[in-house]
Amino acid sequence: MMSPTMSLVVPEPADRRIGLVAGWGRFPVVVAEALVAQGREVYCLGVKEHADIAALKPLCTEFRSIGISRFGAAIRYFRTRGITQATMAGKYHKTKLYRPLVWMHYIPDFRTCRMFFRNFWQTQGDRRDDTLLGQIIDEFAKDGIVFAPATNFAPELLVKYGQLSRRSPSELERKDVEFGWRLAKEMGRLDVGQTVVIKGRNALAIEAIEGTDACIRRAGELCRSGGFTVVKVAKPQQDMRFDVPTIGVGTIQQMIEAGATCLAVEADKTIFIDEREVRALADKHKLALVAMHANAAVLPIGEAA
């Protein structure tokens, strides 16, 4: 895997066209804005029930909604428009895959069935994020459509090392961060999740397919007294093309509602959406926010820049 610094270098394309697969959240919108500012023609496939159509459609040269199980149609869409480079941004709510009669709702096309036959209809493959997303990217590549990390086009979104809020973590919060960091890295190595919630060096909640917000909310339900710490990291084997840890205003709002007081993320591997608003909201509610390096033994100290 390339280092974060190396991955930020994108060759100047001969063709200004680029494909964007957009999921849920603000991240796809921010990426689309960055691409347009660079003079790119954005051909966007917005995942149904996820993508913000109202925000994305005006930004894109062409926008089309598509079902999550229509990868054959998605590949044809990019191929017929001459798209050879693409990127993906935004979350897919994986819990939807476990609804009753899910395939009656989504009705996969033939190529999707062929891609995921081992994962969903046999017992030979697993359904972890890295497995499924890696297979998707490999399938597009068979038709000459190569995916690049979204952060290649908006590197400023990757959070930098240091203290991000005015308040520093307390001594107890620092110990919880250090404890949670090791646990979160192990969960990431297993491709279970990227977020853990800790209090008193004890795990209150560990993220699985429900996502960070639901993990934080569950911790608040289990620990009514609040005062706990959220740790969110990249996987040790993180592929920056997909499933990159992301925080934004919604993350901070969920922490406030649940009773969390500290957030630690991984520098250079975490996407920071609406940074100014996040910092302001954290400071208003006296939260401590820090960004650490992957091998950091201690937290950054000092007032936020």
170-194 tens-digit pLDDT: 999 999 999 999 999 999 999 999 9
Assign 253 a pLDDT band (cuts: 50, 70, 90).
very high
Mean pLDDT of 257-262: 98
Q: Look at residue 89 in the predicted model and tell me its pLDDT.
A: 96
- Find out whether 291 and 270 touch, Cβ atoms under 8 Å: yes
Among 119, 152, 185, residue at a domain's last position = 152
Q: Are residues 31 and 70 in the same domain?
A: yes
Q: Which long-range contacts (CB under 8 A, 24 or more apart) does 209-215 make?
A: 209/94, 209/95, 209/98, 210/95, 211/91, 211/93, 212/247, 212/251, 212/254, 213/250, 213/251, 213/254
Q: 117 or 305, which is more confident?
A: 117
Picking from 195, 192, 165, the residue whose alpha carbon sits closest to that of residue 180 is 195
Residue 204 sits in a domain of what CATH number?
3.40.140.80
Q: Are residues 207 and 257 in the same domain?
A: yes
Sign of the C-alpha dihedral computed for residues 198, 296, 151 and 279 taken in this order: positive
Query: Considering the domain boundaries, does residue 297 fall inside one?
Result: no
Q: Are residues 15 and 142 in the same domain?
A: yes
Residue 1 confidence (pLDDT) above 50: no
- Beta strand residue intervals within 72-128, DSSP E: 85-89
Mean pLDDT of 160-172: 95
Distance CA 52, CA 62 (A): 14
Q: Across the chain, what does the average pLDDT equal? A: 90
Query: Considering the domain boundaries, does residue 298 fall inside one?
Result: no
Q: Which domain holds residue 53?
A: 4-152
Residue 8 confidence (pLDDT) above 60: no
Q: Look at residue 13 in the predicted model and tell me its pLDDT.
A: 53
Residue 97 confidence (pLDDT) above 80: no
Token match 């996987």: residue?
235
For the stretch 280-291, pLDDT in tens is 999 999 999 999
Determine the Cα angle at 104 with ends 80 and 96, to 5°. Answer: 85
Give this prediction's pTM: 0.86
Q: Look at residue 116 in the predicted model and tell me its pLDDT.
A: 83
Q: Are residues 135 and 169 in the same domain?
A: no
Q: Are residues 272 and 163 in the same domain?
A: yes
Other beta carbons within 10 angstroms of residue 90's beta carbon come to 24
**Helices 129-141, 71-80: crossing angle, 10 deg rounding:** 40
Query: Considering the domain boundaries, does residue 77 fall inside one?
Result: yes
Q: Are residues 147 and 8 in the same domain?
A: yes
Q: How far does the chain reach from its first CA to its final CA, in angstroms?
A: 31
Q: How far is C-alpha 86 from the chain's CA centre? A: 17
Query: Considering the domain boundaries, does residue 26 fall inside one?
Result: yes
Among 137, 152, 167, residue at a domain's last position = 152
Among 122, 152, 182, residue at a domain's last position = 152
Q: Give the total number of structural domains in the chain.
A: 2
